[in-house]
């Protein structure tokens, strides 16, 4: 309990430190005389800065220089306190290593590439070969492998098309002359040998199940069940660690789940138990689990399709949770949003209780809020368990956004149109961007918007503040920023994205 109280006390401090750093960063970048082009990667009370000469260093929360800007690259990683990856050009070649907070070289700058794995281990690369060292520069695996990656507490190392497993101390776990080794599930994995035969091993490298003639293991379901393929009939089944078949190889495919298996037979889907009893007949054109996460929502619920119609079924109930009569069904929080053949939306509870009839067109959804229209009137709907309330929004039109799935956007903000001008309203029914622009577009999952006014583009945030001057002739969406340009090509701006949890 004491540790829990400490964490509760610590979270506000972390948030406060981050806010102070954000303020400091803005001040430093705006102050051109500071010499800082950019300040970023605030971790463990330090941040990386880059000068206009392309050199990087480290500052603390008071802007004191801790590491002078002598490197071309510094990576401040949260897991590594007072230990920093650095890079610089040596003899016309870019080399990487590690330094400590005092600037002492801890890992020599001699590697072509460096990648932090986990628990103090670092993959290093030189002349196309890879090895593993620890933070004390001790060799864990020699620099001789073609490929190295970690997963869990296991290191996968490949050389000359042979894969072997090692633990984090460097102890070799396998020596099967393997062509491939899958990632572990329930401390079990599949090893593919050079002759394409497969075996099952545990995370210590011990063989659990030898290869089966004319069969190939396809997936570890759990510690004692494995999906297996008959390579002659091309049918799948399930076998246990004793070599006993729980399900004979008679299905075209089997997709495993917590409560039931989805099986395919003659192009039709059904649901079966782990002992091959039929729960739902093979009459469906598609079935897939509603919930892929390990939580309590939508347990024992599957989306099912017949032709173009979709609904929700429970393998242990004869009654459908949501009848198969909709063209689309998707989850939203602990609800189902349905779309009928007329593209009208409604809402069901997780248990299948109808909450909102299909009289609406939904636009934007966020937490327990929905922006919607009904008979031309615009509403903000608020959900509360199995009930809802609505407030009329006096605007001419809600605007659908570009980044959508099934015509619905998940966002705290709704772009609207009124008298041929555009603005933005929040799910709190507050105008956050004034209705004065000729066009507005959202910027991915941020609280900022590209606006157009007098044929010029800029950026406005959800506080109705202009954060990029509305003076550019065009813009282009890139992966990590928006590029704004003027026709003369002399005035360009790469605007970095600021992602928000409130989007």
Q: For residue range 373-414, what is the model confidence (pLDDT) as tens digits?
A: 999 999 999 999 999 999 999 999 999 865 434 457 888 999
Q: How confident is the model at residue 498 (pLDDT cuts 50, 70, 90)?
A: low
Q: Model confidence at 368, in pLDDT bands (50, 70, 90)?
A: very high
The string of DSSP letters for 23-80 reads HHHHHHHH-GGG-EEEEEEEETTEEEEEETTS-EEEEETT--EEEEEEESEEE--TTS
The answer to whether position 359 is within a domain reads no
Domain count, the chain: 2
Question: Is residue 143 included in any domain, yes or no?
Answer: no
The pLDDT of 25-44, averaged and rounded, is 75
- In a domain, residue 142? The reply is no
Distances (CA, A) of 160 to 114, 130, 163, 216: 22, 13, 8, 24
- 385: number of Cβ within 10 Å: 10
Q: DSSP secondary structure string, 375-428?
A: TTEEEEEEEETTEEEEEE---SEE---SS-BTTBEE-SEEEEEETTEEEEEETT
Residue 260's CB is within 10 A of a number of other CB atoms, namely: 23
Q: What is d(CA 235, CA 233) in angstroms, rounded to the nearest whole number?
A: 5
pLDDT at residue 34 greater than cutoff 70: no
Question: Is residue 76 a part of any domain in this protein?
Answer: yes
C-beta neighbour count of 228 within 10 angstroms? 25
- Mean pLDDT, range 220-246, rounded to an integer: 97
Check: CB of residue 386 under 8 Å from CB of residue 353: yes
In this model, does residue 257 exceed pLDDT 90?
A: no
Confirm whether 492 is domain-assigned.
no
Assess if residue 192 is contained within a domain. Answer: no
What region does 373 belong to: left with phi over 0, alpha with psi -120 to 50, or beta? beta
Structure confidence by residue, pLDDT tens digits, 66-100: 999 999 999 999 899 999 999 999 999 999 999 99
Pairing of the two strands 354-366 and 409-410: parallel
Where is the domain boundary, 111, 145, 178? Answer: 111
- Could you list the residue range(s) of the whole structural domain that residue 37 is in? 1-111
- The pLDDT of 98-107, averaged and rounded, is 96
Among the candidates 65, 96, 111, a domain finishes at: 111
Distance from C-alpha of 299 to C-alpha of 260, rounded to nearest angstrom: 11
Asked, for residue 177, whether it belongs to a domain, the answer is: no
Question: For residue 335, is pLDDT > 70?
Answer: yes
Residues 281-331 pLDDT 10s: 999 999 999 987 667 889 999 999 999 999 999 999 999 999 999 999 999
Residue that is last in its domain, among 86, 111, 136:
111
Q: For 480-495, what is each residue's pLDDT tens digit?
A: 788 899 987 667 778 8
| 398's tokens | 């809600």
Q: Residue 105: inside a domain, yes or no?
A: yes
């Amino acid at each position: 309990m004491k540790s829990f109280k400490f964490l509760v006390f610590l979270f506000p401090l972390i948030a406060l430190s981050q806010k102070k750093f954000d303020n400091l960063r803005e001040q430093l970048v705006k102050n051109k005389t500071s010499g800082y082009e950019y300040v970023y990667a605030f971790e463990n009370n330090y941040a990386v800065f880059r000068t206009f000469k392309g050199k990087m260093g480290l500052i603390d929360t008071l802007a004191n220089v801790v590491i002078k800007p002598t490197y071309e690259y510094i990576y401040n990683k949260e897991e590594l306190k007072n230990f920093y990856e650095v890079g610089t050009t040596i003899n016309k070649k870019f080399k990487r290593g590690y330094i400590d907070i005092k600037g002492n070289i801890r890992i020599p700058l001699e590697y072509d590439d460096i990648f932090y794995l986990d628990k103090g281990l670092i993959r290093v690369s030189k002349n196309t070969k890879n090895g593993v060292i620890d933070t004390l520069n001790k060799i864990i695996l020699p620099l001789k492998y073609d490929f190295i990656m970690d997963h869990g507490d296991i290191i996968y190392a490949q050389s000359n098309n042979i894969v072997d497993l090692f633990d984090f101390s460097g102890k070799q776990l396998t020596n099967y002359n393997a062509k491939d080794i899958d990632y572990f599930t329930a401390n079990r994995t599949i090893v593919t040998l050079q002759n394409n035969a497969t075996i099952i091993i545990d995370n210590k490298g011990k063989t659990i199940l030898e290869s089966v003639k004319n069969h190939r293991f396809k997936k570890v379901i759990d510690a004692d069940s494995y999906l297996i393929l008959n390579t002659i009939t091309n049918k799948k089944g399930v076998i246990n660690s004793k070599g006993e078949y729980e399900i004979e190889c008679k299905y075209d495919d089997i997709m495993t789940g917590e409560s039931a298996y989805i099986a395919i037979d003659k192009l039709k889907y059904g649901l079966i138990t782990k002992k091959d009893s039929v729960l739902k007949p093979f009459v469906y054109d598609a079935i897939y689990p509603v919930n892929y996460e390990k939580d309590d929502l939508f347990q024992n619920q599957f989306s099912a399709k017949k032709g173009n119609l979709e609904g929700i079924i429970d393998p242990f109930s004869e009654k459908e949770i949501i009848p198969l009569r909709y063209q689309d069904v998707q989850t939203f929080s602990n609800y189902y949003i349905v779309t009928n053949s007329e593209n009208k939306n409604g809402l069901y509870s997780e248990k299948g209780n109808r909450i909102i009839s299909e009289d609406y067109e939904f636009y934007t959804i966020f937490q327990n809020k929905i922006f919607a229209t009904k008979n031309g009137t615009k509403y903000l709907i608020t959900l509360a368990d199995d009930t809802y309330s609505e407030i009329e929004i006096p605007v001419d039109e809600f605007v659908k956004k570009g980044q959508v799935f099934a015509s619905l956007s998940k966002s705290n903000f709704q772009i609207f149109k009124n008298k041929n001008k555009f603005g933005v309203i929040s799910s709190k029914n507050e105008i956050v961007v004034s209705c004065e622009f000729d066009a507005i577009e959202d910027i991915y999952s941020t609280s900022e918007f590209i606006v157009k006014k007098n044929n010029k583009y800029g950026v406005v945030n959800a506080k109705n503040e202009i954060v990029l001057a509305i003076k550019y002739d065009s813009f282009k969406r890139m992966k990590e920023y928006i590029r704004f340009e003027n026709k003369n090509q002399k005035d360009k701006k790469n605007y970095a994205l600021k992602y928000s949890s409130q989007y």
